Amino acid sequence: MLIGYFDYLIIAILIFLNIKYWKRNFEKKIGCLLVFILFGFVLPFISMIIELQIVGDWMDSFEVVYTFLRFPTYWVIGIIQMIIIGIRLSRNSDDENETDTIE
């Protein structure tokens, strides 16, 4: 299975956090760096370890080679998250510009 239970949990938490913190302002550098570290290395590695523990004993390495596909999967999720952060930041800057011109 390409996406495991841990991956579903991470995606659900990510959707919840995106909805909850949609209007909050934060630094662009910190957000992108955090997404890069988490979705580039940490979360795929944890997901791969969990999946290998679930599989248990395997006969040959081709049975678990799909676990390396966790990295590109999380990279795609991270790119989508960076796009969401970019939309959020551009939307917040547009709102600030509109309030400045009205006053």
Three-class SS state of 58: coil
Q: Which of 78, 69, 72, 65 is nearest to 10 (CA)?
A: 78
Specify if 44 maps to a domain.
Answer: yes
Amino acid 99: pLDDT: 53
Total tally of structural domains belonging to the chain:
1
- Residue 16: inside a domain, yes or no? no
Calculate the alpha carbon distances from 102 to 1, 68, 89, 99 in Å: 53, 53, 20, 5
Residue located via tokens 């049975």: 63
pLDDT attached to residue 4: 77
Q: What is the pLDDT of residues 23-52, one digit of tens each?
A: 776 666 776 777 788 888 888 888 888 888
pTM: 0.71
Q: Is residue 67 part of a domain?
A: yes
Q: How confident is the model at residue 98 (pLDDT cuts 50, 70, 90)?
A: low
Within a domain: 53: yes
Print the domain residue range for 71: 26-97
**Read out DSSP for 73-85?**
HHHHHHHHHHHHH
Residues with Cβ within 8 Å of residue 40, at least 6 apart in sequence:
74, 75, 78
Specify whether the CB–CB gap between 74 and 47 falls below 8 A.
yes
Q: Is 4 inside any structural domain?
A: no
